[in-house]
Amino acid sequence: MAPHRKSRPPSSLGIRTPAIATAALTSVALLSQTADASPAAEPRPSTEEVQKKIDDLYQQAGTATEKYNAAKEKTTKQRKRVATLLDDVAQRTEKLNSAREALGTFAAAQYRTGASAPDTASLLLADNPQDYFDQTQLMNRLTARQKQAVDEYVTQRATTSKKRQEASEGLETLTTTQSTLKTSKADVQRKLAEARELLSRLTAEEKARLAAIERKKQEEARRKADELARQQAADAERRRQEAVTQDTGAAAGSGTRTGSVPGSDSASSTKAAKALAFARAQIGKPYVWGASGPGSYDCSGLTQAAWKAAGVTLPRTTWDQVETGTTVSVNNAQPGDLVFFYDDISHVGIYIGDGMMIHAPKPGAYVREESIYYMPIHSVVRPG
C-alpha cells in the first residue's frame, strides 16, 4: 500500500482570485498608458487673448518703427557730417602737402648753398614741429620767407591732424548708428511677422469674432468722441455767452462796443487748416513703417508731412514731435493739434475736431479718420 501523505494547505500568498487579478491587470494597463501618453497640449488662447497679443505686437512694432526713424534721421545727418569732414581733410591734406613742398624747396636750396639742410629735414620728420622751432638759434637763421613757410606747415599739420581725428570719430559714431538702424529694422520685421503668424492660425469663426471685437471697440471709441464733441460745443457756447455779456456791459458803460467774441489766432488757424487739408488728401494711402510720403506713411511721417505743407517743420519721430509746441488738455484740443498715444508715446494722429483724428494706424491699414479714443491718449500738443 502506498504511504499516506498529508496534504499541505495551500499558501495564502499563492492565492489569486479573479477580482484581484483583474485589478492588477487594469493597474498595469493604466500605468502603461500613462507612460506612453504624450504631454497634454497647452490650452488654446481665447479670441480676446489673441486680439490683445496682436494689438501688443503692433504697438511694439510701432515703438520699434520710431526707433528706426530716429536712427535713420541720425544716420543721414551723420553721413553728411562725415562727408563734409572727409572733404575738409582732403583739402587740408592738399594744403599740408603744398606747405611740405615749400619747405622741401628751402631744404634743397640750403643743401646747394652748403647751409644746414638737416634742420629742415628734421622739421619734416618731427612729431611736434613747433617744439623743434623753439630753438632760438634755428629761428634766427631762417629768412622771412622761410619763417612764413614754417608757420604755414605747422598750422596745416596741426589742423589736418585734428580734422582727421574728427572724421575718424564721426565714422565710428556712424557705424554705431547704422548698427542701431539695422537692429530696429529687424525688430519691426520680427514683431510684424509674429502678428501675421497669429492671424494665419485663426479659424474663420475666430476671425469673425475678432471682427466683432473690433466693431465693438470702434463703437465705444466713437461714443466717447461724441461725448467730447458735445462737451466742446457746450464750452464754446459758454465762452461765447460770457464774451457777449462782457461786451454788453462795456458798451453800456461807455456808450460804445469795445470788445469782440474771442477767436483763435488767424495765422495759426490758417496753418492748421493747411495741415488738415493735406492730411485729408492722404486718406486711403497705405501705412508703411518708416515711410514719410508721398505714396505711403507711418504715423509720425504723416503728421510731419502735413505740418510741412503748412510751412511748419516738425521733427521726424513721435518722441521729438511731442516736445514741439504747447501741451493742451484733450477738452481744449483744436483742429490741427497733434494727439499722442500710449505711455511710450509711440503713435500720433492729427486732430480734426469732434473727438476725431486722421492718422496712419498700423501695417495692413490705410490712412483714415478715427476716434482719438481708439487708443489710450498720452497728451495733446499744439504745434507753434
- Residues assigned a catalytic role: 299, 347, 359
Burial of 368 (0-12, 13-18, 19+ CB in 10 A): middle
**How far is CA 85 from its chain centroid?**
27
Q: How far is CA 271 from the centre of its chain?
A: 26
Peptide bond into 383 cis (omega under 30): no
Cα 29 to Cα 19, 39, 320, distances in angstroms: 15, 18, 68
Which residue from 382, 383, 285, 365 is spatially nearest to 374, judged by alpha carbons?
A: 365
**CA gap 361, 375 in Å, rounded:** 10
Sequence letter at residue 71: A
> How would you classify the pairing of strands 338-341 and 326-328?
unpaired
Q: Are 154 and 133 in contact (CB under 8 A)?
A: yes
C-alpha 230: how far from chain center = 35
Q: 169-182 burial string, b = 16+ CB within 10 Å, else e?
A: ebeeebeebbebbe
Residue pair 382/321 in contact by the 8 Å Cβ criterion: no
Instruction: Say which residues have a Cβ less than 8 Å from residue 255's Cβ, sequence separation at least 6.
Output: none
What's the CA gap between 91 and 96, in Å, rounded?
Answer: 9
Contacts of 60 (CB under 8 A, 6+ apart): 191
DSSP state of 257: -
